[in-house]
Structure formats: C-alpha cells, structure tokens
Structure 1
Amino acid sequence: MKLISAEFLLLMPQKNRLISNSLAMLVNRLTQGIATFVLTATIARTLGADALGQYLLAMNYYFIFVNFVSQGFKTLFTRELSLNPEIAPIYLVNGTLLQLAFGIVGYLVMSAIVFILPYSDSASTLCYIMGVMIIPFALSNITEAILQAQEKMHLIAFSTVPIYIGRLLTIIWALSSHYGLETVAVILIVSETLISIVQWLLILNIVKPKWQIDRDFIWKAVKASKTFFALEGMGIIASRIDVLILSLLGSEALIGIYGAIGQLLQPYDIVSSSLSLQLFQVCQKL
C-alpha cells in the first residue's frame, strides 16, 4: 500500500501537468477556431462570397507554405528539446535564424507560384500581402517548441489568446468602417508579429540565449527534419488540395461557399489536436 501510494503521489504532478497543458492548448485552439469562424462569417456577411473566396484562397496558400517551412522544424525541435532541455539556448538562436531563412524562401516561392497561376489581380495581391505572415509565424514556432518541450503551454495561451481576441475585434471594426481585405491582411500580419515578440520576451525569462551561430547545428537540423518535412508536407497538401483545385477550376465565390462549410468541422479538429500536442511530450519522456 505504501509503495502504491508513493507511486501515485509521483504520478500526480505529471497528471496535473497533462491536464493543465492540454487545457491551455485547448483554450488556445478554441479561441483561434472561434475567432476564425467569426471572422469568416463577418467577411462573408460584409463583403460577400467573392471576397470570402479570395480571403480563403490567400489563407490556404499561407497555411501550406507556413507548414512547409516551419512545422517540420517545430516537430523536430520539440522532440529534441524534450529529451535534452539544456540545449535550449542553442536552439533558440540558431533555430530562429534557420526559421527566418526558410520563412523568407517560403514566401518568395509562394509569391512566384501565385504570380504564375491565373488568379485575379485582387486575389493575387491579397496572397502576396497575407503571405508575409509566413515569416513571423515561422519565428514563433521555435519559441513554441521550447515552451512545449518544457511543458509550459500556459505561456503559449497567454501570448496568443488576448491577441486573437484583439485581432478579431480590430478586424470587425475595420470591416464595419468599410476597409477592405488588404487591411484585414495587414492586421493579421501585425498580430502574428506581436505574438512572436511576446513569446520571445517570455522565453528570455526562461532561457538565456547563446548568441553564437552554430553551422553544424543548422546543417544537422536541416538534414534531420527532412522526414518531418515530408510528413507535414503531405498532410497539409492533402488537407488543402481541394481549395487549390477549386481556385483553378471554379470561382472565388465557390471557394467562399466551400470554405464556409468547412468551418463547421473546426471543433472536432481543435479538441483532438490539442490533446495530441501534450501527449507528444509525455510519450517522448517515457
């Protein structure tokens, strides 16, 4: 009985962290999902189906390329930092430089593809503007990887939830004041940049950066992330290919209607992915 009680007491903190971290990620994803749903409905109601189609097309290109340039690294960094938390200072600086470089390349490649494809001028311009979000989002991936590896998901929610809410309210005000989608894109860029800055400030209280460029680390990280890149790339293309096909064979209004229907599936994705993110760290330590 004493042995069982001791084991139970040892497991309690881990169970509490699992619950609190899963809850933090759930709040984060739930806020993001609700904000996205409300924003989609507001654009459709204020600007119409064509504008919603342009917005969803730009967001799809953003999601595809931001996942290509960042999610493979984030998965790799989270795994490595969970196993070796003492190397966080090296990952923070060199990982940030790596993500910055890949973010810039990803944006340029995305812009070239949009330029080649036969989209309207307004849709192409919106893709160019909204694609800038790839860079700050990629930069915040390294900070989130460190916070996830150290099981401090509440800090991720702290840095994102208020900004998501403020961003939504600002966009609703902008649309009600007859601003267009370009203004919406700029607000999104500013908010993602603010999230990246806030997370860096939070990280500096936990990790002391090692201001040294480690070329061996960067090269090994690129080589090690190839498998994660392939897996993430296949997944994101499979989930977004339908919108890309509609953008080439259908109309922008059709994309808007299809995307609005897809928002109804958001709650199921939010709950499952929030729990899996925390279980990832726990399984790495077993």
Structure 2
Amino acid sequence: MSSTFSISLRTIARNAASVLASDVVTRASTFVLYALVTRHLGLFRFGQLSLALSIVYTAQVFATAGLKTLIIREAAKDRTKTAQYLVNGVAIVTGATLISLVLLLGFVWIMGYGADTARVILLLALILFPYTISTICEALFQAVEQMHFIAYVNIPLNLAKAGGAFVLLRAGGGIYTVVAILLLTQGAIAAFELALVVSRVTRPRLRIDLGFIRRALSQTAPFLAIDVLISLWGTITIVILSSFRSESDVGLLSASSQLLTPVVLLYQSVVLSLFPVMCRRYEAGFESLKRLSQRVTELLMTIGLPIVVGLSFLAERILVLVYGGQDFALGAVVLRIVVWEVFLRAYTTALGQTLLAGDRERITLSIVAINTLANLVIGVILISQFGLIGAALTIVLTRGVGVVQHYIQVSRIAGSVNLLAPVRIPALASLCMGVYLIVFRHHGIVITIVSAALVYAAALGALTIWSAGGVRRVRTHYRYLWSE
C-alpha cells in the first residue's frame, strides 16, 4: 500500500511540476516577446499586438468548444475512449475554428479597425487551427496522467520563440515577423504534441462518429459557457478601450497588466497546491474550509501587498526599466491604479477556491456572469468618459464587484467572513516597506527593489513572530495549511 501511495505521490508531483513549469515558461516567453516588441517597434505596435492577442484569445475559447475539461474528465474515467476523443475532438474543433474565423472577420469589420491593425488580427487568428489541436492533445495527456509530455514540447519551443524574436527583431524585423514567430511556434507545438499522442497515448482509426460528436457537444455546453464568460471578462476592457481610444492606449494598459502576471501566476500556484487540502477539509464541514480559506488569503496577501506598495512608489521607473522607452512612463498612473487589482484578487482567488472545493460550481458561474456584465457596463461608462484611466478603474472596480459577490456567497453558507484579519500583518509589513521607499527610493532601481524586499521580509518576520507569540507558534499557525 505504501509503495503504491509513494508511486502515486511521485506521479502527482511530476504532473503538477510539468504543468507549472510549462505555464511559467510560456508566460515568461510571452512577457519577453512583449518587452522586445516595445523596445524595438514602439508603443503603437505593442498596442496592436496586445489588442490582437486579446481578441484572438476569446476566439480560441469558442474554437475549442469547451472540449478540454470534458475530455480530461471522460477520458480519465475510461481510457479506451482516448482514440474517439482524439479523432472526433479534432473534427469538432476544426468546425468550431471555421465558425470562429467567420465571426472574428465580422467582428473586425464591425469595429472598424484600421487596415493595418485588422490585418494583424486576422493573420494572428490563423493560430486557431494549431492551438485547438494542441488543446485536444494536452487534454488527453492530462487524462492519462502523462503531463510531462506537455512540458517536453512547450518549454523548448517557447524558449525558441523568445530567442527567435530577440534575433529577428534586432535584425530589423517588424510586427509581421512577430506574428510569423507566434504562428510557427504554435504550429510546431501542435505537430509535436499530436505525434506524441499518436505514438504514446493512442493509435486512432480515422473514423468520425456523428453520434459521438452530438453527445460531446451537448455535454460541453456548461464548460463552454464558463470559459466564454471568463474570456469575455478579460477581453471586454481592451476592446472597449480600442473602440474609444487608440492602439497606443491599449499598449499602455497592457504594459501595466503584464507586470502583474508573475503575481497572478504565484497566486495560481499557491491555490493549486492547496486545493486538494481544501477539498478534504470540506468533508469536515464548510466552517473548517472557511478557516483554511482565511489562512490562504493571508498567504496570498503576504505575496501581493508588497507588490502593490512597491509598484505604487516605483511605477514610472519600473515601466521604463522593463519596456525601455520614456513613452511607457506615461502609464505610471495607470499602473498605480491597476496594481490594486492584485490586492482584491487575493480575496477572489481564495474565496473562489473555497466555493469550488465546497461543490458550488453554479455559484461560481453566476459570479463570473455578473462580473462580465459589470465589466461591460462599467467599462462603457468610464472608458467613454475618461479613456485610459477609465479602463484602469474598470479593471479594479470589476474585481471589487467580484469580492463583494464572493463575500456574500461564502457568508451565506458558512457565516460572516472576516476580510480584515488576513490583511493585518502583511499590511503593517508593507507599510514599513513603504516608509523605507519614501526615504530611500532615489537610489538605483535594482538596489532599491532588493533593499525594499529585505525590509519587507524583516518586518514581516518580526510581526509574524510577535503576533503568534514565538517561533514555534508560527510553525503551528502555518502547519494548518497542509494538515489534514
């Protein structure tokens, strides 16, 4: 029994590490690509690329037809169906991709984008074909618990993407060079993953089952609805801003948002590692799960609050450091607003996982739907009046709507949630760091960042030990996160 458990634990750890490593490298390479575009092509081209990627991302959600979650769930239960899901899944996403391309063409025409911007969007939309095939393959890898294949393919090819962009942009390449790199990278990923699926997972017979396709499409409807709402929530602000302002404004907003990506990834990693514990804690009752949720919120605040304070003080210098142009210094005000989304996201991430661990998926769907509607309404009002600043405020206010909804729903199930307790120690430590930055922020940017982080760590450690009543009690306090 212990041997079987050990093997299972190693498999889980390997799969989790593979997915995390692949995700980190993919996001990091995309961030590097963004930074290279800003340095070599300027703010306007960066805005074009950001707008195109945001729109195509939503089209990708439609093109995958909600199949990924269904394939993982069903093929994991019965691995004999992997061949059916591969062949029929590819058939479904091919049809969905063609429909998505037609809809995307109509959307671009309705929005009235300039010829150059429209061309960038439509060329980048060709990525839908390889992306959807890759999605089917990765779902099958996850279903049969062979997720290391995802890392084997994605990590080297995404590193090659960043390296190729660096070389070609330095050699004088333009925005269409970047589009070509993205298309070639995704095409190579799809080709290699499909080859691995056929050689290592299943050997399909090329026979399309219309009955199977109909059943699969009927089952994917809920997953597609959730995915579409989430994608629209993330894209609406960019689209509204592009309709009222220019691609350069889109670039400034995206530049600020990209700086927050590492924090979001850290949040996701924390809740991913703790989600199984939260699910088991739910078996002891929702009250126990709520207590664990407060610990998770505190952990996320410990990560996020110093980022909020640091970027608030150093916004202009960090934007220029990362993106290499004084044009981006204009986005400092935007960054100082948008960064507060990190603070609010800590609540929605922890409370959202609480609802999912407590089998409240329908509540989660309703929250996402209301957030999407709120984003649309708030965005139209604020962006039409205040432009770029209105877009930044829209992001923060919409996240605030999400916090209120999560608070109400969790409180209804398990009683009132204390939102202030998890913030106290991280806030005091961040305040100490803020005072330090007020006095010493005029030193070199790297020295300032490192020294401020050390001040925060020292203050956090001292406050945590003092609050817990000693070092041993600190260990007891946080052991609750991983205890059964």
- TM-score under structure 1 normalisation? 0.91
Deviation at 1:269, TM superposition (A): 3.3
Tell me the amino acid that sits aligned with residue 238 of structure 1. W
Deviates more, 1:59-68 or 1:10-19: 10-19
Deviation at 1:278, TM superposition (A): 12
The Cα offsets for residues 169-192 of structure 1, whole Å up to 9 and x where unpaired, read as 112222112221112112211111
Which structure's CA Rg is the greater one? 2
Counterpart pick for 1:125 among 119, 123, 138: 119
The Cα offsets for residues 166-213 of structure 1, whole Å up to 9 and x where unpaired, read as 111112222112221112112211111111110111111221112211
Q: Calculate percent identity across the aligned residue pairs.
A: 26
Tell me the amino acid that sits aligned with residue 230 of structure 1. A
Q: 1:236 to 1:16 in 2, by over 3 A?
A: same
- Given the alignment of the two structures, is residue 214 of structure 1 paired with residue 209 of structure 2, yes or no? yes
The Cα offsets for residues 139-172 of structure 1, whole Å up to 9 and x where unpaired, read as 1111111001111111001111111111111122
The Cα offsets for residues 203-231 of structure 1, whole Å up to 9 and x where unpaired, read as 11221112211000111111111111111
Indicate the residue corresponding to 2:128 in structure 1: 134
- TM-score under structure 2 normalisation? 0.55
Query: Counterparts of 2:210 and 2:28 in 1: how far apart (Å)?
Result: 41
| Unpaired segments ≥5 residues, structure 2 | 280-484
Where do residues 11-26 of structure 1 align in structure 2 (5 Å cutoff)?
Answer: 11-26=5-20
Counterpart pick for 2:239 among 221, 237, 244: 244
Query: Counterparts of 2:144 and 2:177 in 1: how far apart (Å)?
Result: 37
| Unpaired segments ≥5 residues, structure 1 | 1-5
Indicate the residue corresponding to 1:3 in structure 2: none
RMSD of aligned Cα (Å): 1.9
Where do residues 1-286 of structure 1 align in structure 2 (5 Å cutoff)?
Answer: 6=1, 8-70=2-64, 72-206=66-200, 207-273=202-268, 276=272
The Cα offsets for residues 111-146 of structure 1, whole Å up to 9 and x where unpaired, read as 221122121111111001001101110111111110
The Cα offsets for residues 26-56 of structure 1, whole Å up to 9 and x where unpaired, read as 1101111111111111111111111100000
- RCO higher in structure (CA 8 A, sep ≥6): 1
Q: 1:76 to 1:269 in 2, by over 3 A?
A: farther
SS in structure 2 opposite 1:205? helix
Query: Counterparts of 1:111 and 1:39 in 2: how far apart (Å)?
Result: 26
Tell me the amino acid that sits aligned with residue 161 of structure 1. I
Q: 1:233 to 1:187 in 2, by over 3 A?
A: same
SS in structure 1 opposite 2:260? helix
Tell me the amino acid that sits aligned with residue 17 of structure 1. T
Tell me the amino acid that sits aligned with residue 203 of structure 2. K
